[in-house]
């Protein structure tokens, strides 16, 4: 009886403290775990479409814009919201008027992107070849000066512009003056009648033009064979300008000094090396080739120029 009364009092004491006899030593109850929150996909898509390997493209217009990230990237405070003109394609001022953008200005006038005003700016995308930069075409004076002051920038800017007029004029002038670069031909022209002298000068000018066209054509064909993608007109035209303008200082000194003079010969070799460097840089910029392939494309023209023109003159 005494033992039963002690157990009864212990049970009553436990119930007063809010614990049942069965809860003594039992683990706390476990609540069911909630699954992680996953946002609902846009209309027309399923949850499986966001899994790796199962994604699919969808239109921007199909995205639910209720969260502020619909067409136009939502009414963002930095101005990248939907354009105020209702186009909804973004980069205009936000529809709530918070900030300028690249769409329609707050006053209603159209506003262009920062690169739209510059024609020599383009975007390079991975996997594409050299971007076709449509730079402003240079006049003949900036062109001739730029070839020697900043050749890389000049060649890149003139990559898709033909330069026939400067090339033909430079070649014709060089050919006409080349007649007076030799003592024998100079005396023949000065002692001949006007018609004969004019025929000799015109023949020399035409010969130099034809030679420049052939040299430039060979360089262009080799550059394309080596993987270049430049146009033929700029390549041939710039090649003619480089070939004859680099040799102009030596030609001018031959009016006063003999061809076998040491200074004239040294100037002739220096001008040939300068021509080699400029031709290589031109092929590299116009055809998007590395230095090795660009030099290989210009090598045949340089060898022909050395054998057919430089060595006979310097010898």
Nearest to 212 by CA among 247, 160, 259, 253: 247
- Residue 147: is its pLDDT beyond 60? yes
Tell me the DSSP string of 11-60.
Answer: HHHHHHTT--GGGTTPPPPPPPPPPPP-PPPPTT--GGGGSTT------G
Question: Distance between CA 140 and CA 169 in Å, rounded?
Answer: 10
Question: Distance between CA 247 and CA 314 in Å, rounded?
Answer: 12
| Interval 141-160 mean pLDDT | 94
Q: What is the pTM of this model?
A: 0.60
Rg (CA), the chain: 40
pLDDT of residue 280: 96
Question: Distance between CA 157 and CA 136 in Å, rounded?
Answer: 7
Question: Distance between CA 82 and CA 95 in Å, rounded?
Answer: 6
The model's pLDDT over 23-44, given as tens digits with 9 standing for 90+, comes to 455 555 565 566 666 656 555 5
CA angle at residue 180 from 175 to 184, to 5 degrees? 120
- Pair of tokens at residue 71: 């067409």
302 close to 276: Cβ distance less than 8 angstroms: yes
- Residue 119: is its pLDDT beyond 50? no
Please, which residues have CB within 8 angstroms of residue 63's CB and are 6 or more apart in sequence?
Answer: 42, 69, 70, 71
Bridge partners of residue 104, in order along the sequence:
110
Please state, in angstroms and as integers, the Cα–Cα distance from residue 102 to each residue in 92, 109, 110, 220, 285, following that order: 5, 11, 8, 42, 32
- Residue 90: is its pLDDT beyond 60? no
Query: For residues 87 and 267, which has the higher predicted lDDT (pLDDT)?
Result: 267
pLDDT of residue 53: 53
Q: Give the 3-state secondary structure of residue 186.
A: helix
Question: Distance between CA 179 and CA 57 in Å, rounded?
Answer: 70
Q: Give the 3-state secondary structure of residue 272.
A: helix
Query: For residues 169 and 135, which has the higher predicted lDDT (pLDDT)?
Result: 169
Per domain, the residue ranges of the chain are 145-314
102 close to 92: Cβ distance less than 8 angstroms: yes
Question: Distance between CA 18 and CA 44 in Å, rounded?
Answer: 54
Question: Distance between CA 267 and CA 74 in Å, rounded?
Answer: 67
pLDDT of residue 190: 87
At 295, is the pLDDT very low, low, confident or very high (cuts 50, 70, 90)?
Answer: very high
The model's pLDDT over 212-227, given as tens digits with 9 standing for 90+, comes to 999 999 999 999 999 9
Helices (H), 58-163: 140-149, 151-157
Q: Give the 3-state secondary structure of residue 110.
A: strand
The model's pLDDT over 260-277, given as tens digits with 9 standing for 90+, comes to 888 999 999 999 999 999
Q: What are phi and psi of 248, to 5 degrees?
A: -60, -45
Query: For residues 88 and 192, which has the higher predicted lDDT (pLDDT)?
Result: 192
Q: Percentage of the chain with pLDDT > 70? A: 57
Question: Distance between CA 235 and CA 219 in Å, rounded?
Answer: 8
| Interval 80-85 mean pLDDT | 48
pLDDT of residue 289: 94
- Residue 124: is its pLDDT beyond 50? no
The residue to which tokens 């809860």 are assigned: 23
The model's pLDDT over 236-245, given as tens digits with 9 standing for 90+, comes to 999 999 999 9
């Amino acid at each position: 009886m005494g033992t039963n009364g002690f157990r009864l009092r212990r049970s009553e004491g436990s119930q007063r403290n809010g614990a049942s006899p069965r809860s003594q030593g039992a683990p706390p109850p476990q609540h069911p775990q909630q699954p992680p929150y996953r946002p609902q996909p846009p209309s027309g898509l399923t949850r499986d479409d966001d899994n790796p390997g199962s994604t699919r493209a969808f239109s921007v217009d199909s995205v639910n814009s209720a969260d502020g990230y619909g067409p136009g990237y939502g009414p963002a405070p930095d101005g990248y919201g939907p354009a105020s003109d209702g186009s909804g394609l973004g980069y205009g001022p936000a529809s709530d008027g918070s900030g300028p953008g690249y769409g329609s200005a707050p006053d209603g006038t159209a506003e262009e992107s920062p690169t739209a005003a510059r024609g020599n700016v383009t975007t390079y995308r991975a996997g594409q070849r050299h971007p076709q930069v449509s730079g402003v075409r240079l006049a003949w004076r900036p062109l001739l000066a730029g070839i020697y002051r900043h050749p890389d920038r000049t060649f890149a800017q003139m990559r898709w512009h033909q330069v026939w007029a400067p090339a033909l004029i430079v070649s014709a002038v060089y050919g006409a003056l080349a007649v007076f670069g030799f003592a024998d031909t100079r005396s023949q022209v000065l002692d001949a009648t006007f018609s004969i002298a004019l025929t000799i000068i015109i023949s020399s000018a035409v010969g130099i033009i034809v030679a420049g066209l052939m040299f430039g054509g060979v360089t262009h064909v080799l550059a394309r064979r080596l993987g270049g993608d430049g146009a033929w007109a700029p390549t041939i035209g710039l090649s003619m300008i480089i070939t004859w303008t680099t040799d102009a200082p030596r030609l001018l000194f031959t009016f006063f000094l003999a061809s076998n003079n040491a200074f004239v010969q040294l100037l002739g070799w220096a001008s040939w090396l300068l021509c080699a460097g400029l031709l290589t840089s031109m092929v590299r910029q116009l055809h998007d080739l590395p230095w090795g392939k660009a030099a290989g494309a210009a090598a045949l023209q340089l060898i022909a120029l050395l054998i057919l023109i430089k060595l006979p003159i310097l010898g």
